[in-house]
Amino acid sequence: MKHVILLLRRLATWTVIVPILAVAVLALAWGRSIPPVVVVIAAVFLAASVLAAVHHAEVIAHRVGEPFGSLVLAVAVTVIEVALIISLTASGGPAASSLARDTVFAAVMITCNGIVGLSLLVAALRRRVAVFNAEGTGGALATVATLATLSLVLPTFTTSRPGPAFTPAQLAFAALASIALYGLFVLTQAVRHRDYFLPVEPGGQDADVAEHADPPTTRAAVASLALLLSALIAVVGLAKIESPAIEAAVRAASLPQSAVGVAIALLVLLPETLAAVRAARRARVQVSMNLAFGSAMASIGLTIPTIAVASLWLKGPLLLGLGPTHIVLLALTVVAATLTVVPGRAGLLQASVHLTLCAAFLLLAVSP
């Protein structure tokens, strides 16, 4: 009887209920003209489904362990991001031609400055200094910088096509290079140099066996996989339903179109931010770095190729090149992150630098 009660309690948790109800709301609302109250309900379930999806990705990540766990989280977040971008681009028309660029750049700035800054701040406040593996984190940063330059900076300076856009051949190269670099990084992180991405204690020793909760059972991981897929389906469908309301809200608030991309990035990265901060509180700063730079890398390395393929049927140009202000912010972020990563140790000053850069980006996103 006790086992039955425990099972019922487990099934009654919000992370189980939300994906199921979200799919039900999607089925009821799909293809129909829905009133404003249903739009609000769908928005609530959209946000809750994002949180539930990342929760179940965390369960699977805990089961497979580091560094594979960070990869699972990064890929799950990127799938959600791509779904939102394609849904909003398909319904937004020419005004949404820069949505992919805005979302990817926002994800890079939030991860490399916001998540990194918060993680370093939490770790430094608790232990005076945050310690991580410079070899692995430096390699991740170099990959992020290369991907961001190839996909977001070069289109501004190419001359074969007017506007900050690639020609089909250039876009194909950027997409293939992004996939190749991301795949090589995954191979490095998971196989060839796995030890570079494992947490270290303040004293420098390996912390792969640090105290943490027992990993979930295989049955629990399989259940989380099923619920993760359900949540992702709900996110994709509900984003399609919500896209007209989101566009109308941005116009009503007189915000620039790039604010939509920032909102998408903030939504999908919020749960991962919480996961990174929790890891930093346990002195597992390397896990936080894996999450931050891994998410930035996946956001570029997986989103750009997917959007490149989707552009074959999406109407309007695909604008990828950043403007001068954003290029300056990206260059400053790469320089600051390099100086933070190289020593393998960071404190309050480095955390403050990254958080200031993140704040400047958010301010300029709503008031360019």
The confidence score (pLDDT) of residue 283 equals 84
What does residue 55 show for φ and ψ, rounded to 5 degrees?
-60, -50
Lowest mean pLDDT segment, chosen from 14-18, 19-23, 330-334: 14-18
Segment 33-48 shows an average pLDDT of 82
Non-local (6+) Cβ contacts of 288 within 8 A are: 115, 116, 119, 123, 132, 276, 277, 279, 280
Query: At 174, which amino acid appears?
Result: A
Predicted confidence (pLDDT) per residue in 263-284, tens digit: 878 877 777 787 788 888 888 8
**Burial state string for 170-201 with b = 16 or more CB within 10 A and e = fewer than 16:** bbeebbebbbebbeebbebbbeeeeebbbbbe
**Predicted pLDDT at 5:** 43
What is the average pLDDT across 38-66?
78
| pLDDT the model gives residue 312 | 76
pLDDT score of 146 more than 90: yes
Work out the average pLDDT over 146-163: 89
User: Cα angle vertex 182, ends 106, 135, to 5°?
Assistant: 90
Structure token digits, residue 322? 């950043």
Q: Say yes or no to pLDDT of 68 above 80.
A: no
Question: Where does the pLDDT of residue 211 fall: very low under 50, low under 70, confident under 90, or very high at 90 and above?
Answer: very low
Q: Are 316 and 97 in contact (CB under 8 A)?
A: yes
pLDDT for residue 326 = 94
- In which band, very low, low, confident or very high, does the pLDDT at 1 lie, cut at 50, 70 and 90? very low
Work out the mean pLDDT of the chain and round it to a whole number. 81
Q: Output 110 or 221, whichever has higher pLDDT.
A: 110
Instruction: For Cα atoms 83, 88, 91, give the angle at the middle one, nearest 5 degrees.
Output: 130
Contacts 24+ apart (CB under 8 A), 361-367: 361/106, 361/109, 361/110, 361/113, 361/329, 362/262, 364/325, 364/329, 365/106, 365/256, 365/258, 365/259, 365/262, 366/255, 366/256, 366/259, 366/262
State both tokens at 20: 């199921």
Q: Which of 131-135, 182-186, 302-306, 315-319 has the lowest mean pLDDT?
A: 315-319
Please determine, for residue 350, whether its predicted confidence score (pLDDT) is greater than 80: yes
Minimal CA–CA distance to 332: which of 112, 184, 123?
Answer: 112
Q: Is the pLDDT of residue 348 over 80?
A: yes
Indicate the length of the chain as a whole number.
Answer: 368
What burial class does residue 208 get, using C-beta atoms within 10 Å of its C-beta: 0-12 exposed, 13-18 middle, 19+ buried? Answer: middle
Q: For the chain, report the end-to-end CA distance as a whole number of angstroms.
A: 61
Q: What is the 3-state secondary structure (H, E, C) of the chain?
A: CHHHHHHHHHHCCHHHHHHHHHHHHHHHHCCCCCCHHHHHHHHHHHHHHHHHHHHHHHHHHHHHCCCHHHHHHHHHHHHHHHHHHHHHHHHHHHHHCCHHHHHHHHHHHHHHHHHHHHHHHHHHHHHCCEECCHHHHHHHHHHHHHHHHHHHHHHHHCCCCCCCCCCHHHHHHHHHHHHHHHHHHHHHHHHHCHHHHCCECCCCCECCCCCCCCCCCHHHHHHHHHHHHHHHHHHHHHHHHHHHHHHHHHHHCCCCCHHHHHHHHHHHHHHHHHHHHHHHHCCCHHHHHHHHHHHHHHHHHHHHHHHHHHCCCCCCCCCCCCCHHHHHHHHHHHHHHHHHHCCCEECHHHHHHHHHHHHHHHHHHHCC
28: pLDDT strictly greater than 60: yes
Q: Closest Cα partner for 332 from 324, 343, 321?
A: 324
User: What is the tens place of the pLDDT at every residue in 91-143?
Assistant: 666 666 788 888 889 999 999 999 999 999 999 998 888 888 888 899 999 99
Structure token pair of residue 342: 């190289």
pLDDT of 12 higher than 70: no
Assessment of whether the complete model's pTM goes beyond 0.85: no
Question: Does 192 have pLDDT greater than 50?
Answer: yes
- In the chain, the percentage of residues whose pLDDT exceeds 90 is 22
pLDDT at 7: 44
Average pLDDT over residues 3-15: 54
What pLDDT is recorded for position 34? 76
Q: Does the pLDDT of residue 210 top 60, yes or no? A: no
238 versus 184: the higher-pLDDT residue is 184
For residue 43, the model assigns a pLDDT of: 84
